[in-house]
Amino acid sequence: MFEETGKKSYKLQPIHPDMVYGSVVVSKFINHVMRQGKKDIAKKIVYDAFKVIKEKTKKEPLAIFEDAIENVSPTMEVRSKRVGGATYQVPMKVNKKRSMSLAMRWIVSTAKSKKGKAMSVKLSEELINASNNEGEAVKKKETMHKMAKANKAFAYLAK
DSSP designation for 8: E
Condensed to tens digits (0 to 9), the pLDDT of residues 10-31 reads: 888 888 999 999 999 999 999 9
pLDDT above 70 for 61: yes
Q: Residue 52 above 70 pLDDT?
A: yes
User: 56-60 — which CB contacts under 8 Å span 24+ positions?
Assistant: 56/124, 56/128, 57/128
Which residues neighbour 40 within 8 Å (Cβ) at sequence distance 6 or greater?
A: none
Architecture of domain 16-157: Orthogonal Bundle (1.10)
Report the distance separating Cα 23 and Cα 141, nearest Å: 24
Q: Which 3-state string (H, E, C) describes 124-141?
A: HHHHHHHHCCCCHHHHHH
> What is the model's pTM?
0.87
Q: What is the pLDDT of residue 3?
A: 58
Cα separation, 120 vs 42, in Å, equals 9
